[in-house]
Amino acid sequence: MKKFIVVFTAMSFLITSVSVSGQNASRSTLKNNHNQDGKKERKYLVESLIKIANPVLTALSQNQLVAKMPVEEVAKGREQFTHLEAFGRLLAGMAPWIELGPDNSPEGQLREKYILLARRCLHNATDPQSQDFMNFDQGSQPVVDAAFLVQALLRAPKLLWDPLDQKTKNNIIAALKSTRVITPYNSNWLFFSAMIEAGLLKFTGSCEMAPVQKAIDSFLHKWYLGDGIYGDGPVFHWDYYNSYVIQPMFLEVLHELIEANVPDKAKYEKEEAIVLTRAKRYAYVLESLISPEGTYPPLGRSLAYRFGAFQLLSQMALMQQLPEGVKPQEVRAALYTVIKRQLSAPGTFDKNGWLQIGMVGHQPAIAQGYISTGSLYLCSEAFLILGLPPENNFWEGPDADWIAKKVWGGDNVSIHHSID
């Protein structure tokens, strides 16, 4: 009997040890899998950006964008603007990723391919002799997308601007200056003229300061409504234009003035601090709008820009200026979830890979009259986080719950207060 008890005890110990060992191995495997979240998500985001970009950049690099790009439009006549829209907006979102440059990794080699494509596209888009030479001065729309093109060049000066041949640089400068015949509307459009002048300051050493100062003065004091929100002009619009245009370009214009060491640099530095504080608050608001399922409210104009609505949140992560208490891993998880949800909707792309009008899939009725195929590529602005290199802390560690996911999951969280 004693012998049986000893054998039974030994077997029980062995089984327990194996069981505990197996549980530990499972926990270790689970932990390792969670630590791969950022790597998996980055891979998906790079693949998604390339899927969106490839039709545009391939066609334009071959001087075939006008010939090959479909033009889905609500109002007639948008075909004269849509190609610059597609190129400028797409490149603005890709630029931080491009600026990482080529390396020996598969992603780095992919970047090299698209860096070369983008440079060729810049040449074709601004060469008056090119089949794909774009409209920079006819109608009012070109000032909008010339500004997005400048945004791209300022976000990737080492890889997109510096290596260009002098003829292409001259063509780009001429194209940007030609937009000066367009008077911007008294709204977020003020930042388009300001952005172009900031680019000219960077590329030529001089610019017209009147449009820049008008944009700064209007939004800094006259149109700021409080709690991180600007009116789009003197009237409040409940939409995502604070993220589509106003706050990202406000930060970038001020940055370029400070970098250029203009005479009023100290004043602009103080203003930049104010604008950054407001941007952090609005970034918090944006993250709060993302539901646990990765949806967000369909509010206001230009919903066909899809997840471009989260440009500012992505920009704050890129700048490593997220609001206090907001982890990079929660922003990463939130943006990934939103982007994947929208891109997975049937009808987002046509059979040849071009974006189609809609917020979730193909929804032509959601578009305003100024929306056409090219407009849709503003969605690329959500990919600014790819400008953070793979080894950055942003891509490390397991996913973290974002604000709404914490609250609706029952977590005991402290919510931020409003600001002045």
What is the pLDDT, as a whole number, of residue 417?
85
CATH number of the domain at 121, please: 1.50.10
9 part of a folded domain: no
Indicate the pTM of the whole model: 0.92
Between vectors from CA 300 to CA 277 and to CA 136, what angle results, nearest 5°?
A: 80
pLDDT of residue 10: 47
In a domain, 414, yes or no: no
Structural domain of residue 352, as residue ranges? 46-408
CB–CB of 6/13 below 8 Å?
no
Helix or strand holding residue 321 (H, E): none
**Total residues found in the chain within this entry:** 420
Q: Is residue 26 part of a domain?
A: no
For residue 170, being part of any structural domain is answered with: yes
Domain count, the chain: 1
- Asked if residues 247 and 282 have their Cβ atoms less than 8 Å apart, the reply is yes
Residue 406 predicted with pLDDT over 70: yes
Residue 10 CA to residue 7 CA, distance in Å, equals: 5
Question: Does residue 20 lie within any of the structural domains?
Answer: no
Q: For position 4, what pLDDT does the model report?
A: 42
Asked whether residue 8 is domain-assigned, the answer is no
- Distance, in Å, from the CA atom of 215 to the CA atom of 340, rounded to the nearest integer, reads 35
In a domain, 71, yes or no: yes
pLDDT confidence of residue 147: 98
The C-alpha atoms of residue 235 and residue 219 are separated, in whole angstroms, by 12
- How is residue 370 written in tokens? 């100024």
* Domain contains 40: no
pLDDT-wise least confident of 25-34, 78-87, 227-236, 289-298: 25-34
In the chain, what are the helix, strand and coil shares in percent, each to the nearest 5?
65, 0, 35
